[in-house]
Amino acid sequence: MKQAPMTKRIDLECVHCGHITPFIKPVPACPNCGENILKARYDLRALRESGWVDVMLRREPGMWRYHELLPLYNTENIVSLGEGWTPLLHAKNLGLQLGLKNLYIKDERQGPTASFKDRQASVAVSVMREQGITEAVVASTGNVAIAYSAFAARAGIKMWTFLTSMVPGEKMREAAIYGGEVIKVTGTYDQAKIVAASFAESRGLFLDKGIKSVAAVESMKTMAFEIAQQLNWKSPDWFIQSVSGGMGPIGVAKGFEELIQLGLLDRSPALGVVQSSGCAPMVRAWKNGQRVATPVDNPQTIIATLSTGNPGRAYELLYDLIGQNGGAMEDATDEEAFNATRMLAETEGLSVEPATAVAFAGLIKLARRGIIKPHEVVVINCSGHTFPVETQILGDQFARQVDVSDVGKRVSVPEEGLLAALEHMETRVRRIVVIEDNVAAGRLITRILQAKGKYEVHLANGGAEGVLLIERVNPDLVITDLMMPDIDGFKVIDALKADEKRRNIPVIVLTAKELTTRERERLSGQISGLLQKGSFMDEDLLQSIVDALT
């Protein structure tokens, strides 16, 4: 196959003063002004004119099919573990719950070390190999250390990773397994970065700037390239990600920008940038309309991955990008993130790490506030896997406990005792009739309830079926849609209230539309809960059920 351009030229442009230098090797800062964020520039017009797109599309799917747009000169230096080309999953269940028809999840958990830092590590370590670097230093909030250590092991490069002590022990062990040196710095991530830099300096070792390196930003572009193709060469309306340093969305935005210049797209998505509430310098500044963020010295979040207190220039770049392409910044508390973790797992079968859940918690807020519109195409970066599950998410109550120690004195398991203990634990099962003519919505509600274990759910497809089902199963609770073609929710409630034996069964109404005053009056006193479809969360639904049943 013919390689598109025979000679590759890469320049570095300073984001602050615009000074341009040819990319010969990774440099710590702009030689002119000292700024540490530099942008790689390629000859996109030559690529476009050479028919590069067709050449690229014939290559194997994977991140390195875009190598002409990555900062590496010789493809023989590529260090790969099969990163990139992750699936774009249509999230129909979560979308239904949030009122977003076109919600897509870019499942970055499926990379070699289970986070989107695999892209960064593959490019960064390949560049190190090309530069003849044999030993390097990087600071990390966890995932960079794991990914760099894995790729460096493959390349035979010695890695020194400096981690803030906030990083969970499991992640530290994961980084250590690849044989590099793991240094736990008791302090914040910003402090760990300083310690790493002075260590590299004193030993004369190469310091990778982590997320602020050219390799990092360039690697993130590949997500945009993949998403655009996965959406049939359309830009999504939104790209959402939780951020720490913030270079992820900056790289993705650069990718969309390059696709526009290559003639493949006509616009870039709005950016949804989400931070953890305990460490949200960007969100705070953005909400105050400030272009410069005040650093957070003491991050108050247990989500170490998102604990960059000082975003520096990255925030200004994001601020400008949002000004240009639209978007919003939002924060989410650790608790909101943990709730989102469960919601995502239960609706879509995706288990994510807390940092990723922050993005989903932010998405939920943006959707509920109407900042993201129902028809918009939304892509969310599902950037990391919860592996292993951190105890904060599940607490110690995730499994049912059966204690048989005091049931019998025999050493073998006393079977009757076990059954008795199980029976004792069982609380009464509550029967619920769900009346919903939208099959998918009905199934979703059923699933939410069944995931909680103690509900027996009977689903009726429409009002007529619902009335019959109520008579047949005598439920403890009825959940009904209002707008249904045959017998609507109002008539179901009328029938129930006219039934001597069943008029006290509580009713929760789910409605897709705003109710008129008259409709509200008609329901008042008749129902114990009213939820607007597309804006409730499973917790709201469960809370209304608990309230109605007590």
Interface contacts to ligand PLP, rule CB under 6 A: 115, 117, 143, 211, 242-248, 305, 353, 355-356, 383-384
Q: How far apart are CA 382 and CA 352, in angstroms?
A: 7
Nearer to Zn ion, 12 or 163 (CB): 12
Cβ atoms 28, 70 nearer than 8 A: no
Q: Any bridge partners for residue 378, and if so which? A: 103, 238
Query: Is residue 17 near Zn ion by the rule CB under 5 A?
Result: yes
Give the footprint of Zn ion on residues 328-387 (CB under 5 A): none
| Residue 305 binds: one of ligand PLP, Zn ion, none (C-beta under 5 to 8 A by kind) | ligand PLP
Query: Is residue 14 near Zn ion by the rule CB under 5 A?
Result: yes
Tell me the closest approach of the beta carbon of residue 476 to ligand PLP, in angstroms.
41
CA angle 97, 101, 103 (to 5 degrees): 85
Tell me the closest approach of the beta carbon of residue 301 to ligand PLP, in angstroms.
12
The binder of Zn ion chosen from 13, 19, 310, 431 (CB under 5 A): 19
CA angle 144, 150, 152 (to 5 degrees): 95
Q: How far apart are CA 299 and CA 316, in angstroms?
A: 20
Q: How far apart are CA 446 and CA 459, in angstroms?
A: 8
| Residue 17 binds: one of ligand PLP, Zn ion, none (C-beta under 5 to 8 A by kind) | Zn ion
Nearer to ligand PLP, 383 or 446 (CB): 383
Cβ atoms 359, 372 nearer than 8 A: no
Query: Is residue 214 near Zn ion by the rule CB under 5 A?
Result: no
The one segment of 27-35, 172-180, 294-302, 478-486 that binds Zn ion by CB under 5 A:
27-35
Burial label for 481, CB within 10 Å (0-12, 13-18, 19+), is buried
Nearer to ligand PLP, 93 or 307 (CB): 307
Nearer to ligand PLP, 241 or 446 (CB): 241
Q: How far apart are CA 78 and CA 388, in angstroms?
A: 29
Nearer to ligand PLP, 67 or 385 (CB): 385
Residue nearest to ligand PLP (CB): 248
The binder of Zn ion chosen from 4, 10, 12, 30 (CB under 5 A): 30
Nearer to ligand PLP, 352 or 479 (CB): 352
Tell me the closest approach of the beta carbon of residue 279 to ligand PLP, in angstroms.
11
| Residue 471 binds: one of ligand PLP, Zn ion, none (C-beta under 5 to 8 A by kind) | none
Angle in degrees, 0-180, between the axes of helices 463-473 and 489-497, rounded to the nearest 10: 30
Sign of CA dihedral 313, 314, 316, 321: positive
CA angle 209, 35, 163 (to 5 degrees): 25
Burial label for 45, CB within 10 Å (0-12, 13-18, 19+), is exposed
Positions touching Zn ion (CB under 5 A) are 14, 16-17, 19, 30, 32-33, 35
